[in-house]
Structure 1
Amino acid sequence: MTIATMIGIIFSIFVLLILLALLVVEVQFRRRPGNKLELTAGDWDITTYDPDRYFIEGELELINYTKRFEIMVPELWADVKLLSKESLEDITAKVWVTPQHADADARADGYWFAYIVKRKPTRLRVSVDIRGKDLSSLQSAWIRVHYVTYGPQGRIPKLRHVIVPLKFPTVEDSHRWRPATNADVLPIRTHLLTHLDDPVEIVKRYVLPHAQAGDVITIGETPVALMQGRFRHPTDVRPGWLARRLCYYFMPTSSLATACGMQTLIDIVGPWRVLSAFLLGALAKKFLGKPGLFYVLAGEQARLIDDVTGTLPPYDQFIVLGPENPQQVVNQIYQATGLGAAIVDVNDLKAVKILAATPEISLKSLEQALVTNPAGNADEQTPLVLIRPTSTA
């Protein structure tokens, strides 16, 4: 063996060792939590609800989910968008943030000073002061809390979206029963449902005044998901290589036909499941004439995701996932109210999908009562439908 050959072998081994070291570093880097700091949605309250003034306060937490790293929050501020079906010309809204750090006082000028979030969470208060001669037309306040995390992954801007309802229907607003197959149905209006709400409490508030023994209450799957906080803004979604390519193969009306919608599914069930479901689904459709296998293999969420424009403002700006543990939700409603309950997905095409129902309910009768979609697909804001079986059922 010549000296040149030995040098070549040594150089090759050296290069391989470097590549191996770089691979180990890359794997370890991907396992790092990075800037894993989140701002909670918080607890909110309307402390003043007068005809000419609303005052809203929210208590939120900044939580550092990393075990070894300190994450800094050099910037944090908030803004608010009011939603109404009438002009906002004479209505003003002021929003400000007050730090509630245990070890530091807030500044009198409202400046958010850079703060290090260690193992213990820290808190902050967001205040919104809304004024005008007549605020009765306001429907909701979309509050956006902007914050910047600064840590191992650099400087990363983030957003926490909070929707606070401002208009609350009365029980009397829902009184028009309608005939259906073997039942009468009552679409029930509610306020705009948000993460501040609980399905059981919503049923108690809006349904029980109308209900009697033997009635069944249904809730749309999207409102349940919203109450569970299962929605994402597209700016928080990072479409990868797979999502950007697979989305082109879905119908334009599908919520998976955008890169962000597809990536949301990938984030839930994983890339390998989505890819294998796509390939097997394509083969089944092409050679066996059986469409729809993708949705079976990819899981329930593949059918339930609603992309942007899929629901009421301001949630029309968000990707809404399907509800979590729907059977547990209906069981809780039954235990608390004694009413049979179901979570459903219904549209104007006479398609009724029952995600979960309490055991005593006849699924066939439920489908017959809902086939005309009494809750509506527009902005009726009637996510609840009370079903009363008739004597002919």
Structure 2
Amino acid sequence: MLKPNEGKALYREVDGKNYARYAIKTHFITLGEDLDKIIEEYVIPHYQKGDIITLSEKIVALSQGDIIYKKDVKVTWLAKLLSKFVVKNQHCTGLRNVYKMQVAINIVGPVKILFAAIIAAIGKIFRIKGIFYKIIGNGISNLDGFNDEAYDYYADKGIFAPKNPERVCQRIKEKYDIDSMIVDANDLGVEILAFNKEIQDKGELVRKLLKDNPAGQDREQTPIILIREYAHREVSTSA
């Protein structure tokens, strides 16, 4: 039985068509788990031709094992300084977290980080947002972890953005004939990291369907959303 998360609508209408967004609950997924086994256990029993599944970038990254532990991050004065200027957000700490800021510095270098910070500060004067992340790139906005806001498991580890996400989606399509997208979604917005080539024209549709973050932001444990088009809305919430 599939259903939406509490407080989230099952259906959403986009461009005159109705879609269900089923939240697939999984066990608590940890470092090094087999993504294929997750799909086989939780997705295949429900998947129908024409469905699209979205996978959280976190579970894909965890399956790849690309993380860094807090104990291995040497925080510098620059990270402490710059993190103070990151806008505080109730939904996520982002680079306000000094460990995430330090990892960003380690990846792109202090010169580029400082340049991006200066340009972003100028941009704020003209109410232009997002300049910082556009300049530093390299998946920095997708850094996760280093916090225990939802689960203690993430307190001591940072999780990098998934490697070769397009290849992951294409492999899922080739092995299971399942259309998929890897997304970084929260209550602030939706970023689609990758999709299999067969649904390359569905990006904007999925972005609209996930706008209200049907996967949730707390302890839902629903990192997979199954999207299904309906000619009309069902009475039942089962899939």
Shift of 1:309: 2.9
Instruction: Pick the aligned partner of 1:180 from 5, 9, 12.
Output: 12
Shift of 1:314: 1.3
Instruction: Pick the aligned partner of 2:44 from 198, 208, 223.
Output: 208
Contact 1:215 1:389 (8 Å CA) reproduced: yes
More displaced stretch, 180-189 vs 213-222: 180-189
Shift of 1:312: 3.2
- Equivalence for 1:4: none
Shift of 1:283: 2.5
- C-alpha distance in 2, partners of 1:176/1:274? 43
Structure 1 residues 191 and 364: CA distance shift in structure 2, 3 A? same
Within a 5 Å distance, the mapping from 1:112-131 to structure 2 comes to: none
Q: Which runs of 5+ in 1 are unaligned?
A: 1-173
Instruction: Pick the aligned partner of 1:380 from 210, 220, 231.
Output: 220
- C-alpha distance in 1, partners of 2:53/2:153? 26
Q: Deviations over 1:32-68 (max 9, x none)?
A: xxxxxxxxxxxxxxxxxxxxxxxxxxxxxxxxxxxxx
Shift of 1:238: 0.2
Contact 2:32 2:62 (8 Å CA) reproduced: no
Instruction: Pick the aligned partner of 1:270 from 90, 109, 124.
Output: 109
Shift of 1:311: 4.8
- Equivalence for 2:161: 322
Contact 2:184 2:190 (8 Å CA) reproduced: yes
Tell me the SS of whatever aligns to 2:197. coil
More displaced stretch, 210-219 vs 186-195: 186-195
Tell me the SS of whatever aligns to 2:55. strand
Contact 2:170 2:197 (8 Å CA) reproduced: no
- C-alpha distance in 1, partners of 2:134/2:127? 15
- C-alpha distance in 2, partners of 1:291/1:180? 28
Shift of 1:183: 1.0
Contact 2:88 2:96 (8 Å CA) reproduced: yes
Task: Give the letter for the 2:118 counterpart.
Answer: L
Q: Which has the higher contact order (CA 8 A, sep 6+)?
A: 2
Contact 1:200 1:336 (8 Å CA) reproduced: no
Q: Which runs of 5+ in 2 are unaligned?
A: 5-9, 233-239
Tell me the SS of whatever aligns to 1:348. coil
Shift of 1:219: 0.5
Structure 1 residues 259 and 348: CA distance shift in structure 2, 3 A? closer
Task: Give the letter for the 1:337 counterpart.
Answer: Y
Instruction: Pick the aligned partner of 1:303 from 121, 124, 141.
Output: 141
Contact 1:200 1:332 (8 Å CA) reproduced: no
Shift of 1:310: 5.1
Give the number of the structure whose residues are more often strand, by fraction: 1
Instruction: Pick the aligned partner of 2:81 from 242, 245, 250.
Output: 245
Tell me the SS of whatever aligns to 1:190. coil
Structure 1 residues 231 and 196: CA distance shift in structure 2, 3 A? closer
- C-alpha distance in 2, partners of 1:277/1:322? 20
- Equivalence for 2:190: 352
Give the number of the structure whose residues are more often helix, by fraction: 2
- Normalising by structure 2, we get a TM-score of 0.81
Contact 1:215 1:387 (8 Å CA) reproduced: yes
Instruction: Pick the aligned partner of 2:207 from 367, 372, 392.
Output: 367
- Length, aligned pairs only: 218
